[in-house]
Amino acid sequence: AEIVVLPGDGIGPEVTAAAVSVLESVGRRYGHTFAFTHRLIGGAAIDAEGAPLSDATLDACRKADAILLGAVGGPKWSDGKIRPEQGLLKLRKALGLYANLRPVKTHPVALTASPIKSHLLTGVDMIVVRELTGGVYFGEKTRTDTTASDLCEYSVAEIERVVRRACQLARGRRKYVVSVDKANVLETSRLWRQVASRVAAEEFPDVRLEHQLVDSMAMHLIARPREYDVIVTENMFGDILTDEASMLAGSMGLLPSASLGEGTSGLYEPIHGSAPDIAGRGIANPCGTILSAAMLLRHSLGLEQEARCVEKAVAQAIDDGCLTADLAPQGAALDTLAMAKAVL
């Protein structure tokens, strides 16, 4: 299988290197050949190629069986006219990766590391399906000396496909989907709610669908996290709610994501950012990226057994007390390489 690796900025190169070493080990053990092509994205690509996502890189991504990404962005590029994030947004859009799957499961380490009370955390197992190629991220933007605007748009077709994906996922789980919107204020949310209700009723009579307002959801997510199974929502709400939900796991550094479109290819990245404050020090938590590689094995390569093997190895390493600085008590932390070795 052909895998494009986009390390990106900040801690991106460190965590993707760790995940690649895990994929290589899976290849050796199970007899698969993975061919890795490294390309630039984000700030690194702006510096070297003048654009955050070159045509050649986009082309390589289109042809690949899957893409593994680290993170993009950093203070160095935040005031420029061209921003690293544009590369990532362009990639998501160009490949039609409309469904961003963000599973949140609590490993026992969360009981100590999470700001949420332990008794609420045991058994948390949810997956947020965030719409990734629409909404206010991609609407027309305007700017004058005295005003700015961003347009939030959704079409019926955009809502249908992502809700469908969420309901399909729910079928393999607890058959319970919560759709999040702000239908008491937004027109896009009223359309979202209508379409979600219709898709669920017509195509998934076996799945229970409920609606929540995004403000309430921001409470319930941490007050009763165990109740949720699949959560589906639009791009911006998904961005906010998944970062919030990451606190259930104890550290963002643990959480993977998969961005999928119509084919089997996909983009896999940890949900954390480029963490410029710790970049280059080799201390970042590689688990989110390693678990993203596991999702890659599952969703793009159809290697379910291999995916589980990686997930088990990560859980086991953490069980054994192998923890990076984001999770370990002062002084007892492993660095990125040591953590990757523990998983290997």
Q: Which is nearer to ligand IPM, 39 or 130 (CB)?
A: 130
Binding of residue 330 to its own copies (CB under 8 A): no
182 has catalytic annotation: yes
Cα–Cα distances in angstroms (integers) from residue 107 to residues 22, 73, 188, 220, 295, in the given order:
20, 29, 36, 20, 17
The identity of residue 240, as a single letter, is I
DSSP 306-331: HHHHHHHHHHHHHHTT--BTTTS-TT
Q: Which is nearer to its own copies, 151 or 332 (CB)?
A: 151
Which of residues 51, 60, 82, 236 is near its own copies by CB under 8 A?
A: 236
Q: Is 69 in contact with 267 (CB distance < 8 Å)?
A: yes
Task: Decide which of ligand IPM, its own copies, none touches 338; Cβ closer than 5 to 8 Å per partner kind.
Answer: none
Q: In what order do the strands lie in the sheet with 2-8?
A: 35-38, 2-8, 66-71, 266-270, 256-260, 99-105, 125-131, 230-233, 176-181, 208-213
CA–CA gap between residue 258 and residue 99 (Å, rounded): 8
Binding of residue 130 to its own copies (CB under 8 A): no
- Kindly identify the residues of this chain, within the stretch 68-87, that bind its own copies according to CB under 8 A: 73, 78, 83, 85
Choose, from 9, 98, 137, 181, the residue flagged as catalytic.
Answer: 137
Binding of residue 152 to its own copies (CB under 8 A): yes
Q: Which is nearer to its own copies, 65 or 244 (CB)?
A: 244
Q: Is 132 in contact with 152 (CB distance < 8 Å)?
A: no
Q: Pick the stretch among 93-101, 108-116, 290-298, 318-326 that binds its own copies (CB under 8 A).
A: 108-116
- Kindly identify the residues of this chain, within the stretch 50-109, that bind ligand IPM according to CB under 6 A: 72-73, 85, 88
**Closest listed residue to residue 178, CA positions, set 97, 169, 187:** 169
| CB of residue 163 to ligand IPM, shortest distance in Å | 19
DSSP 208-236: EEEEEEHHHHHHHHHHSGGG-SEEEE-HH
Choose, from 9, 154, 181, 182, the residue flagged as catalytic.
Answer: 182
- Kindly identify the residues of this chain, within the stretch 187-226, that bind ligand IPM according to CB under 6 A: 215
Comparing every residue's Cβ against ligand IPM, the nearest one is 85
CA–CA gap between residue 44 and residue 77 (Å, rounded): 10
326 has catalytic annotation: no
Tell me if residue 7 falls in helix, strand or coil.
strand
Cα–Cα distances in angstroms (integers) from residue 39 to residues 8, 60, 340, in the given order:
8, 9, 22
The token duo for 309 is 């093997």
Q: Which residues are annotated as a binding site?
A: 92, 102, 130, 215, 239, 243, 273-285
Q: Which residues are annotated as a binding site for substrate?
A: 92, 102, 130, 215
Which positions are annotated as active-site residues?
Answer: 137, 182, 215, 239, 243
Q: Which residues are annotated as a binding site for NAD(+)?
A: 273-285
Binding site for ligand IPM (CB under 6 A): 72-73, 85, 88, 184-185, 215, 239
Binding site for its own copies (CB under 8 A): 73, 78, 83, 85, 89, 114-117, 120, 136-137, 139, 141-143, 145-157, 182-188, 190-191, 214-216, 218-219, 222-223, 236-237, 239-244, 246-247, 252, 273
